[in-house]
Amino acid sequence: MIDTIKRISGVNPRKCMKCGKCTASCPAFDRMQFHPHQFVDMVENGRIDELMNSEGIDFCLSCFACVERCPRNVEPAKVIEAVRLAVIRQQGGAHLTPDEIPALLDDELPQQAITAAFRKYRK
Ligand code: SF4
Ligand code: SF4
């Protein structure tokens, strides 16, 4: 699973120097059982199951503040997103089918949102 997380995220957690700037800049850190710098460290140490079963991973806002602040270009947000994706894939099945798409469309919704959701929620 650790290889899957690294492949999905494209992140090399070994670059982390454990400065904690990612967590310090995260608006959702207090709602996540494990904080952004801990995600990186735990992936590096193969503790993927703990992350996948932890509370609050859905509270990450994907704001990328942690990515902006990281002096080593580790990109913690991508690790968190990869763990969320692994959880969804583990649940199995397709969570979005082509037939459901037309009902979701409206003038305000960017097409990229539909594409991203389809990639994420379709097995
Ligand atoms: S992308 Fe997620 S983990 Fe990173 S700063 Fe924003 S809320 Fe926190
Ligand atoms: S800001 Fe970057 S280098 Fe610092 S702890 Fe977070 S991921 Fe590691």
Q: 108 and 62 in one domain?
A: no
Q: 16 and 42 in one domain?
A: yes
Q: Which CATH number characterizes residue 60's domain? A: 1.10.1060.10
Query: Residue with the nearest Cα to atom 1 of ligand 2?
Result: 70
Q: 100 and 74 in one domain?
A: no
At residue 99, the pLDDT reads 83
Q: 59 and 21 in one domain?
A: yes
Q: How far is CA 27 from CA 15, 46, 82, 92, in A?
A: 23, 26, 19, 31
Q: 99 and 85 in one domain?
A: no
At residue 110, the pLDDT reads 79
Q: 116 and 68 in one domain?
A: no
Choose among 82, 71, 122, 70: nearest CA to 100: 122
For a ligand 1 pocket test, name from 22, 42, 63, 83 the mutation site with the most ligand atoms within 8 angstroms of its C-beta: 63
What gap in Å lies between CA 52 and CA 78, rounded to an integer?
Answer: 14
Q: 45 and 28 in one domain?
A: yes
Residue 109: band (very low, low, confident or very high) from pLDDT cuts 50, 70, 90: confident
Q: Which residue has the tokens 């059982």?
A: 33
For residue 119, give the H/E element and its range: helix 111-121
Query: Residue with the nearest Cα to atom 8 of ligand 1?
Result: 26
Domain containing 109 equals 95-123
Residue 80: phi and psi, rounded to 5, are -65, -45
Q: What angle do CA 112, 117, 120 make, to 5 degrees?
A: 125
The string of DSSP letters for 72-88 reads T---HHHHHHHHHHHHH
Q: 59 and 118 in one domain?
A: no
For a ligand 2 pocket test, name from 68, 70, 75, 80 the mutation site with the most ligand atoms within 8 angstroms of its C-beta: 70
Q: What digits encode the pLDDT tens for the residues 37-67?
A: 999 999 999 999 999 999 999 899 999 999 9
Instruction: Report the separation in Å between the CA atom of 102 and the middle of ligand 1, taken as the mean of its atom positions.
Output: 31
What is the number of the ligand 1 atom nearest to the C-alpha of 80? 3
For a ligand 2 pocket test, name from 21, 41, 68, 78 the mutation site with the most ligand atoms within 8 angstroms of its C-beta: 21
Q: CB–CB of 77/27 below 8 Å?
A: no
Q: 46 and 6 in one domain?
A: yes
Choose among 71, 65, 60: nearest CA to 15: 71
Number of domains in the chain: 2
